[in-house]
Structure 1
Amino acid sequence: MAKAMQVIVFKLGNEKYGVEISQVREIIRPAQITRIPNTPDFIEGVINLRGQITTIINLRKRFGLENKPIDNDTRIIVVEHNNSVIGMMVDSVSEVKYLSEREVESLPPIVTSRNESSFLKGVGKLPDGLMVLIDLNKVLREEEISSVAHTSA
């Protein structure tokens, strides 16, 4: 797991998270979100992103954190996942950071044994603390992606 990488650093509450920059398509401000009925709670809805219907997930809800109203710092990190474009709503995006191999560590086994932490990839060491690295391939399970894609198509 310990490989060098560039990450987009974002916050949920007071915690820092990172996602590999190679998985990020763009970062946008929230637009008008249309809710889709009968979808998991963490799915905010869909937006029209330059003519493409894009599913928006709320990472706060996905990670089991308390919801927070959208404000001027809220951003949507747009990623491509299995030929689908998905937006992840976060509290703020702060920087792009390079992490060397020695600054990246796997999660302790006690953390990875919990089912809800399966979308976590590791920990990045920063000068001012730690950052949790997320695995976008696991943030949405395949059945969740396909159910939303079919609903919004």
Structure 2
Amino acid sequence: MNITDIKQDQVETQGREFLVFTLADQEYGIDILKVQEIRGYDSQAVTRIANVPSFVKGVTNLRGVIVPIVDLRMKFNMEHVEYNAQTVVVILNVRSRVVGVVVDGVSDVLILQPSQVSAPPQFGSAFSTEYLTGIGTVGDRMLILVDIERLMTSEEMSLVESAVA
């Protein structure tokens, strides 16, 4: 049995942990292993950059590391809201890169067993589900599980990389 088999066995018996965050009235989950930290949103600490996609709020200096900040509401084509005390930035480590995502709030960490996760729905070409890994259910709650690594390494995010570099 190799290390990959052992990790897969652990996932099947212990489940996977997801950080749960909200956008509008919907709950989303991302793999907790991608999360570095959670910080309050401070617009004063974000510097705008010209010629980046509109969902990129700018960059911030996090202990000497320049971190792009992405507004997930805008990335998911949701209506814009005023940021408040609940608005947070989730700092992620994605493929050796640090990126921040602005979300409405963070509620908790949940462990989902494989039996609690179903495949993402197919909407045809009208709605892209390429960044979704599935739908998680815990009691009456439904979580949209986001493949944050795929989302943050998409082609349009490479525009952010070139602007920051």
The question of a shared fold, defined as TM-score above 0.5 by the shorter chain, is answered with yes
Q: 2:142 aligned with 1:130, yes or no?
A: yes
Q: Which has the higher helix share?
A: 2
Aligned match of 1:146? 158
Superposition deviation, residue 151 in structure 1: 1.5
The aligned amino acid for 1:148 is V
One of 110, 122, 128 as aligned partner of 1:97 = 110
Aligned match of 1:22? 33
Output the TM-score relative to the length of structure 1. Answer: 0.90
The two structures, once aligned, show a CA RMSD in angstroms of: 1.8
Output the TM-score relative to the length of structure 2. Answer: 0.84
The unaligned stretches of length 5 or more in structure 1 are none
Matched residue count: 151
The unaligned stretches of length 5 or more in structure 2 are 1-10
Tell whether the 8 Å contact from 2:120 to 2:129 is kept in structure 1 after alignment.
no
User: Which one has a bigger Cα radius of gyration?
Assistant: 2
One of 83, 96, 100 as aligned partner of 1:87 = 100
One of 36, 49, 63 as aligned partner of 1:50 = 63
Q: 2:19 aligned with 1:8, yes or no?
A: yes
Partner-residue secondary structure (3-state), 1:150:
helix
Identical counterparts, % of pairs: 33
Superposition deviation, residue 115 in structure 1: 5.6
Cα deviation 1:33-88 (Å, max 9, x = unaligned): 11111111111111111111000101001111001111100111111122211001
Relative distance call for 1:115 and 1:13 in structure 2 (3 A) is: closer
